């Protein structure tokens, strides 16, 4: 059973703290949605996991072994991101052959299937592929390498909707048949949330949330009804957002409702509905001067 | 489980493929020059043999592939799950392999040329070449081109690690190191109006000094790359 454990990780650039005391543990077979606003530190965190740079403090371990400069651990990790291929003259086939050579779990048959599925031209230099095709190429490498820890950081850029859908299908299939630790960093929250088993939310370089997807979204609740009744009901709860139209008010609260509160809401004619991950993400990471 | 021998093999093969262009290019230019020496107006003997004629272009070639070694290969290898240490040893060993192979290929071509020249009235000064002279030249050649590779690697490591401004400092330092190495081989050097000439240094001492300088630079390159942040 593969595991990835991050303990008290800090990343500093001079006086700036890009990551502040991040800790979490990830387990094989689960797909993790890594969410955060622009500049929150998602890519910094992922680049540490992939040993692209060394953390300033703390430890990052794969199966109990520190990752940085460890050949066994680094082989277990694939980090797929939106690369600049404007000067990459190598052909698709040669790059896939290189992945095959150096990636110990690479599956050529699966790669061939994906090449066909994404209609990748094998003999074309990568720099000449469209943006969407370059993303499909990245995804093909990431999926067929079958690394026990596979990270996709905004890997869908330029892909059209059907291609993105194919990519999501492949992730689901892979997790069923060849389970790995899959980390998906994305801004397309509503489009990809069905893939997540757990949610990791980073805000201003700190870990805001690490929770099971179902448990987490069950904590986001919209309460709608008569203004005074809603006001009374939400007292003691953390209110993320309020909206009002005439005498009707809707409050978006974060937390759990007790059975008593649920029946109270029903008795008072309040409408209780679940929030989406996107709602929660938007409200939990909004800045004070933002009105969303 | 370190994979530096596998990386050495792959880098060596890839760079040897690049070097074929150099070898073919130098050879073609040589025969064009020899074919038209009376038109251009020089004595074929002045051109030197293939080994001595090829050293300057090979130095530039090795400098260029040294310059490419970080931006092209380091990023790719770390992305592929290879450590910086494996990359470092792979690069160092393949450069040594290449620095030996290229002169040997030129030497072999020189030998083949020699067989043909014997059958022609062309005077290329072969009678002045001694076996010991050739061995000395070959060793000096290997050391010189390996040194140039390491210089290119040093410059590019500095640029990759510290950005272009500090990178320029690495270029200036390299120019200085190249001049000092030149002085080890009897060249006059002038640094800020300071003229240095070490005089006639014995070959064995020159070779040793270049080896020491190359080893120091290699060590510095390891220090520069051992925890280098990979550009995304």
A150 located within any domain? yes
Distance from CA of B183 to the nearest CA of A (A): 39
| Nearest Cα to Cα of residue A181 among A208, A200, A162 | A200
Domain shared by A48 and A122, yes or no = yes
| Nearest Cα to Cα of residue A195 among A228, A223, A165, A233 | A165
Q: Using CA atoms, how far apart are residues B88 and A157, in angstroms rounded to an integer?
A: 33
A289 located within any domain? no
**pLDDT score at B125:** 67
Domain shared by A77 and A41, yes or no = yes
Q: Has residue A77 got a pLDDT over 80?
A: yes
Quote the domain boundaries for residue A254: 218-284
Q: Do residue B80 and residue A103 have CB atoms under 8 angstroms apart?
A: yes
Lowest-confidence region among A73-82, A253-262, B182-191: B182-191
| Nearest Cα to Cα of residue A127 among A101, A161, A95, A163 | A95
ipTM greater than cut 0.95? no
**pLDDT score at B1:** 55
Domain boundary at A185, A215, A245, which? A215
Domain shared by A211 and A267, yes or no = no
Q: What pTM, to 2 d.p., does this model score?
A: 0.89
Beta-ladder partners of A211: A199
Percent of chain A with pLDDT over 90: 85
Domain shared by A116 and A226, yes or no = no
Domain boundary at A215, A235, A260, which? A215
Contact A43, A81 (CB under 8 A): yes
A107 located within any domain? yes
Domain count, chain A: 2
| Chain B residue closest in CA terms to A70 | B83
CB-based burial label for B135 (10 Å; 0-12, 13-18, 19+)? exposed
Domain shared by A227 and A209, yes or no = no
A170 located within any domain? yes
Number of Cβ atoms within 10 Å of the Cβ of A65: 12
Residues of B whose CB is below 8 A from A52: 78, 229-230, 232
* CATH code of residue A246: 3.30.70.240
Q: Using CA atoms, how far apart are residues B36 and B48, in angstroms rounded to an integer?
A: 15
Domain shared by A202 and A257, yes or no = no
Domain boundary at A176, A197, A215, which? A215
Domain shared by A226 and A206, yes or no = no
| Chain B residue closest in CA terms to A69 | B83
Beta-ladder partners of B83: none
Domain shared by A266 and A194, yes or no = no
Domain shared by A16 and A42, yes or no = yes
List the single residue in B3, B78, B232 with the smallest CB-CB distance to A51.
B78
Contact A212, A61 (CB under 8 A): no
Contact B180, B213 (CB under 8 A): yes
Domain shared by A58 and A197, yes or no = yes
A292 located within any domain? no
A53 located within any domain? yes
Q: Do residue B1 and residue A83 have CB atoms under 8 angstroms apart?
A: no
A290 located within any domain? no
Half-sphere exposure of B84 (CA within 13 A, CB side): 21
| B219 CB within 8 Å of a chain A CB | no
Give the pair of three-digit tokens for residue A32: 């993790």
Q: Using CA atoms, how far apart are residues A224 and A234, in angstroms rounded to an integer?
A: 11
Q: Has residue A168 got a pLDDT over 60?
A: yes
- DSSP for A254-275? ES---HHHHHHHHHTT-EEEEP
* CATH code of residue A194: 3.40.50.300
Q: Using CA atoms, how far apart are residues A99 and B140, in angstroms rounded to an integer?
A: 39
Domain shared by A35 and A160, yes or no = yes
Q: Using CA atoms, how far apart are residues B229 and B232, in angstroms rounded to an integer?
A: 9
Tell me the Ramachandran region of residue A68: left when phi exceeds 0, alpha when psi lies from -120 to 50, beta otherwise.
beta
Contact B144, B59 (CB under 8 A): yes
pLDDT in tens, chain B (232 residues): 568 899 999 999 999 999 999 999 999 998 888 888 778 777 777 778 888 899 999 999 999 999 999 999 999 999 999 999 999 999 999 999 999 999 999 999 998 888 887 777 666 667 677 888 889 999 999 999 999 999 999 999 999 999 999 999 999 999 999 999 998 998 888 777 778 777 788 899 999 999 999 999 999 999 999 999 999 8
Domain shared by A89 and A119, yes or no = yes
A291 located within any domain? no
Residue A116 has φ and ψ, to the nearest 5°, of -70, -45
Question: Which of A70, A71, A98, A146 to mutate against chain B (most B CBs within 10 Å)?
Answer: A71
């Amino acid at each position: 059973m593969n595991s990835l454990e991050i303990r008290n990780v800090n990343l500093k650039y001079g006086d700036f703290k890009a990551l502040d005391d991040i800790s979490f543990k990830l387990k094989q077979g689960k797909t993790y949605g890594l969410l955060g606003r622009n500049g929150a530190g998602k890519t910094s965190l992922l680049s540490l996991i992939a040993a692209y740079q060394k953390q300033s403090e703390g430890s990052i371990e794969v199966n109990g072994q520190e990752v940085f400069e460890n050949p066994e651990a680094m082989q277990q990790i694939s980090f797929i991101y939106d690369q600049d291929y404007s000067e990459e003259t190598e052909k698709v086939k040669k790059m896939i052959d290189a992945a095959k050579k150096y990636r110990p779990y690479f599956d050529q048959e699966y790669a061939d299937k994906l090449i066909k599925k994404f209609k990748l031209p094998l003999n074309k230099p990568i720099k000449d592929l469209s943006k969407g095709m370059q993303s499909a190429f990245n995804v093909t490498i990431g999926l067929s390498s079958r690394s026990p820890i596979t990270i996709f950081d905004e890997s869908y850029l330029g892909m059209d909707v059907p291609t993105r859908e194919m990519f999501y299908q492949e992730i689901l299939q892979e997790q069923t048949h060849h389970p790995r630790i899959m980390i998906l960093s994305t801004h397309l929250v509503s489009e990809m949330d069905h893939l997540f088993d757990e949610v990791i939310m980073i805000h201003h370089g700190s870990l805001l949330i690490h929770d099971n997807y179902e448990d987490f979204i069950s904590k986001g609740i919209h309460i709608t009804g008569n203004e005074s009744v809603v006001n009374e009901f939400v007292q003691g709860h953390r209110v993320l957002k309020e909206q009002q139209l005439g005498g009707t008010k809707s409050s978006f609260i974060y937390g759990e409702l007790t059975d008593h509160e649920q029946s109270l809401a029903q008795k008072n004619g309040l409408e209780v509905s679940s929030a989406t991950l996107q709602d929660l993400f938007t409200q939990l990471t909004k800045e004070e001067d933002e009105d969303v | 489980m370190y994979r530096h021998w596998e990386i050495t093999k792959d880098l060596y093969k890839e760079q040897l493929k690049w070097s074929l262009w150099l070898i073919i290019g130098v050879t073609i230019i040589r025969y064009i020059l020899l074919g038209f020496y009376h038109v251009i107006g020089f004595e074929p003997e002045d051109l030197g043999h293939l080994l001595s004629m090829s050293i300057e272009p090979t130095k530039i070639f090795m400098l260029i592939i040294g310059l490419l070694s970080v931006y092209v290969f380091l990023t790719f290898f770390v992305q592929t799950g290879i450590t910086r240490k494996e990359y470092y040893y792979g690069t160092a060993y393949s450069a040594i392999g290449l620095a030996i192979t290229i002169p040997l290929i030129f030497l072999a071509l020189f030998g083949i040329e020699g067989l043909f020249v014997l059958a022609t009235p062309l005077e290329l000064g072969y009678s002045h070449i001694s076996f010991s002279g050739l061995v000395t030249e070959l060793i000096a050649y290997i050391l010189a081109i390996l040194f140039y590779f390491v210089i290119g690697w040093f410059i590019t490591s500095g640029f990759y690690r510290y950005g272009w401004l500090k990178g320029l400092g690495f270029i200036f330092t390299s120019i200085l190191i190249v001049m000092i190495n030149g002085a080890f081989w009897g060249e006059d050097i002038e640094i800020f109006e300071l003229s240095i000439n070490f005089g006639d240094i014995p070959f064995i001492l020159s070779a040793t000094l270049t080896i020491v300088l190359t080893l120091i630079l290699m060590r510095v390159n390891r220090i520069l790359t051992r925890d280098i942040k990979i550009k995304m």
